[in-house]
Amino acid sequence: QEEDPWWKSAVVYQIYPRSFADSNGDGIGDLRGITGRLDHLSALGVDVLWLSPVYPSPQDDNGYDISDYQGIDPAFGTLDDFDELLAAVHARGMKLVMDLVVNHTSDEHPWFREAVGSPDSPKRDWYVWRPPRPGFAAGEPGAEPSNWGSFFSGSAWQLDEASGEYYLHLFSRKQPDLNWENPQVRHAVHAMMRWWLRRGVDGFRMDVINLISKDQDFPDGPVADGAAHGDGSPFYVCGPRIHEYLQELHREVFAAHPERLLTVGEMPGVSVEEARLFTDPARAEVDMVFQFEHVGLDHGPGGKFDPKPLRLTDLKTSLTRWQQGLAATGWNSLYWNNHDQPRVVSRFGDDGPAHRVRSATALATVLHLHRGTPYVYQGEELGMTNAPFAAIDDFRDIESLNHYAHAVAAGADAEQVLAGLRAIGRDNARTPMQWDATAHAGFTTGTPWIGVNPNHARLNAAAQLADQDSVFHHYRRLIELRHTEPAVVHGDFALLLPEDEHLYAFTRRHRGTELLVLANLSGDVRHAALPDADGWHRAERLVTNYPLPGAYLTHTLGEPLTLRPWESLVLRRT
Ligand code: TEU
Ligand code: CA
């Protein structure tokens, strides 16, 4: 039997290079900027860094549109800068994971250029081409080969005038989908991945990897009330050949590599049942997946930009299903934030001055005490908040800009559309990292590519390192606890108080150790009527977010536990 892989007790930190640290004053974060800030990451104690894409790219989708898989975008530096960063990361005992974006390339990738420029070349079939719908002339409204909408508004098909055929792009027009049916495409991807592994990287975060296999009939999808396009997801989410492709990739790339890697597949729309198949070690596909259920619970009837308040019971039900579904087979990844999600303290917590620190730390406690591999997104460890975007000109993200243009053109109220972008838009996660209280938060000496959050004057890394009660030190303690207490890594998971709309409570049991995690996710005092409150009377307090006297929980026997606003506790008994 294989020993437990190292990533089961690891914590991963995601860097969005464009917004992390700028070393040369051009307003864009870069690789040398990251190398210069490794002290911060060592102090936090994370094991792995995941870099969002740094490859050459027209930056239509901030690097998720790649025009050369084996290089570094000059905006981020050079391959030498990369090697230097990798060596520095390894010298500190950390690992580095690359973002792998192979559902699509940039339309400026030489492969696509050749596919468009020479329709007879073998490269044509590296992408997905279809003629107009029968009975329609190319370019006519409704002539698209299927009714699928793109993730970034509009149709998922773009006409190539010269040939009269359409190409598929699930994301922007500048992100044509690769045709994974073609074995040459798969071999090119495998070769490219081996090249990065030879360079020394420790694994891959695989962008929308469950979308690479499409139903080759490209059937129309269901059309929601008032929607301009159909939903093609039934025909490309975990499509017909997805497991075959991942098993092949595992065989050709991961299994052939001497070191144990970390592989995580980003998988919108994945179900627990599918995730169990993807992460079953016996099937040899990927180590873990990013699922999307819990970050969709506040999407309203009008979609993601029409958010509604989260019901805590929905969150608990969802995460508990994932804990149980991947308990015996497979493994979970755990995340609140990444570069596509609004800041969790603003979304599920309370980012006002009274509760920001405690709600950020309570949410962190809940996440990090689940079973799985936690991911921390840059700035989350500071409790960074959503940004006060005043007008549409303040946004940079293609998804937000396209949504605004389409919605307003279709007659939506501009202020209402802006409100949705402010709440859920991806740029909330992309404002520069707040290092200190100086101009531009110490991110750059130049003009930042997107506005710095004005709250950096009081919310920044320098201030938090100096304050033991800060969000930063709380994250550091949670990470340390995972490294030292096996019950955090291996313990079973049992939800308590499932009906409670304010308290998040669960236990983790491993051999003779039991942990109790209790969090009040509300701004009022709450009483936790735990079935076994007295049994925790003499329990040891491991990580708390209110200073309490003594090493043991203060609690009156026979009484429920009382939790103050946004209070969280991790207790241990043996
Ligand atoms: O995201 C895939 C994805 O499905 C969404 O989270 C996406 O961000 C969008 O908001 C859906 O409404 C991945 C990357 O993480 C994202 O940054 C890229 O834009 C996208 O793939 C395309 O590569
Ligand atoms: Ca720079």
- Evaluate the CA torsion angle 369, 292, 169, 115 in order and state its sign: positive
Q: How far apart are CA 348 and CA 326, in angstroms?
A: 24
Using CA atoms, how far residue 67 sits from 99, 110, 211, 212, 253, in Å, is: 14, 7, 20, 18, 22
In this structure, which residue's CA is closest to atom 7 in ligand 1? Answer: 340
User: Cβ–Cβ contacts within 10 Å for residue 218, how many?
Assistant: 20
The pLDDT, as a whole number, for residue 550 is 65
563: phi then psi, degrees, rounded to nearest 5: -115, 130
Kindly give the interhelix angle for 312-325 and 272-279, rounded to the nearest 10 degrees.
40
Third-level CATH fold of 487-573? Immunoglobulin-like (2.60.40)
Q: Answer yes or no: 298 catalytic.
A: no
Question: What separation in Å is there between the alpha carbon of 339 and the centre of ligand 1?
Answer: 9
Question: What separation in Å is there between the alpha carbon of 464 and the centre of ligand 2?
Answer: 25
In this structure, which residue's CA is closest to atom 10 in ligand 1? Answer: 340
Of 381, 288, 279, 272, nearest in space to 337 by CA = 381
Question: What separation in Å is there between the alpha carbon of 368 and the centre of ligand 1?
Answer: 24
Which of 173, 207, 430 has most ligand 1 atoms within 8 Å of its beta carbon, as the pocket-test mutant?
Answer: 207
Report which bound ligand comes closest to the CA of 169. Answer: 1
Q: Strand pairing partners for 159?
A: 166
User: Cβ–Cβ contacts within 10 Å for residue 43, how many?
Assistant: 13
Q: How far apart are CA 178 and CA 197, in angstroms?
A: 22
289: phi then psi, degrees, rounded to nearest 5: -125, 155
Task: Report which secondary-structure segment, H or E, holds 168.
Answer: strand 165-168
Which of 102, 151, 178, 231 has most ligand 1 atoms within 8 Å of its beta carbon, as the pocket-test mutant?
Answer: 151
Which of 102, 208, 289, 377 has most ligand 1 atoms within 8 Å of its beta carbon, as the pocket-test mutant?
Answer: 208
Report which bound ligand comes closest to the CA of 17. Answer: 2
Question: What separation in Å is there between the alpha carbon of 268 and the centre of ligand 1?
Answer: 8
Encoded tokens for 463: 């201030």
Report which bound ligand comes closest to the CA of 76. Answer: 2
DSSP for 281-305 reads GGG-S-SEEE--GGGSTTEETTEEE
Q: Which of 60, 266, 350, 380 is catalytic?
A: 266
Question: What separation in Å is there between the alpha carbon of 16 and the centre of ligand 1?
Answer: 14
Same fold? 110-168, 487-573: no
| Strands lying side by side in the sheet with 12-15 | 288-290, 262-266, 203-206, 95-100, 48-51, 12-15, 373-377, 333-334
Cβ partners under 8 Å of residue 320, min gap 6: 493, 495, 498
Third-level CATH fold of 110-168? Oligo-1,6-glucosidase; domain 2 (3.90.400)
Contact 360, 383 (CB under 8 A): yes
The pLDDT, as a whole number, for residue 557 is 86
Question: What separation in Å is there between the alpha carbon of 56 and the centre of ligand 2?
Answer: 14
In this structure, which residue's CA is closest to atom 18 in ligand 1? Answer: 64
In this structure, which residue's CA is closest to atom 2 in ligand 1? Answer: 208
Q: How far apart are CA 80 and CA 166, in angstroms?
A: 39
Cβ partners under 8 Å of residue 9, min gap 6: 482, 483, 489
In this structure, which residue's CA is closest to atom 4 in ligand 1? Answer: 268
Report which bound ligand comes closest to the CA of 30. Answer: 2
Instruction: Please report, in tens digits, the pLDDT of each residue of the chain (574 residues total).
Output: 457 999 999 999 999 999 999 999 999 999 999 999 999 999 999 999 999 999 999 999 999 999 999 999 999 999 999 999 999 999 999 999 999 999 999 999 999 999 999 999 999 999 999 999 999 999 999 999 999 999 999 999 999 999 999 999 999 999 999 999 999 999 999 999 999 999 999 999 999 999 999 999 999 999 998 899 999 999 999 999 999 999 999 999 999 998 999 999 999 999 999 999 999 999 999 999 999 999 999 999 989 999 999 999 999 999 999 999 999 999 999 999 999 999 999 999 999 999 999 999 999 999 999 999 999 999 999 999 999 999 999 999 999 999 999 999 999 999 999 999 999 999 999 999 999 999 999 999 999 999 999 999 999 999 999 999 999 999 999 999 999 999 999 999 999 999 999 999 999 999 999 999 999 999 999 999 898 888 998 899 999 999 876 667 777 888 888 999 999 999 999 9
Question: What separation in Å is there between the alpha carbon of 444 and the centre of ligand 2?
Answer: 8
Q: How far apart are CA 197 and CA 39, in angstroms?
A: 25
Report which bound ligand comes closest to the CA of 28. Answer: 2
The pLDDT, as a whole number, for residue 548 is 73
Q: Strand pairing partners for 53?
A: none
3-state SS track over 411-476:
CCCHHHHHHHHHHHCHHHHCCCCCCCCCHHHHCCCCCCCCCCCHHHHCCCHHHHHCCCCCHHHHHH
Encoded tokens for 48: 């792995």
* Domain locations along the chain: 110-168, 487-573
Encoded tokens for 444: 């750059």
Question: What separation in Å is there between the alpha carbon of 340 and the centre of ligand 1?
Answer: 6
* Ligand 1-lining residues (CB < 6 angstroms): 61, 64, 101, 151, 171, 207-208, 266, 268, 304, 339-340, 399, 426
Ligand 1 nearest-atom number relative to CA 152: 12
3-state SS track over 126-138:
HECEECCCCCCCC
Q: Answer yes or no: 2 catalytic.
A: no
Kindly give the interhelix angle for 471-484 and 356-368, rounded to the nearest 10 degrees.
20
Q: Is the ipTM of this complex over 0.95?
A: yes
Ligand 1 nearest-atom number relative to CA 170: 22
Q: What b/e sequence results for 318-355 when a residue is b if at least 16 CB atoms lie within 10 Å of its CB, and e otherwise?
A: bbbebbebbeeebbbbbbbbbbbbbbbbbbbbbbeeeb
Q: What share of the chain is helix, strand, coil (3-state, %, to 5)?
A: 35, 15, 50
Q: Which of 165, 207, 380, 485 is catalytic?
A: 207
The pLDDT, as a whole number, for residue 546 is 94
Rg (CA), the chain: 24
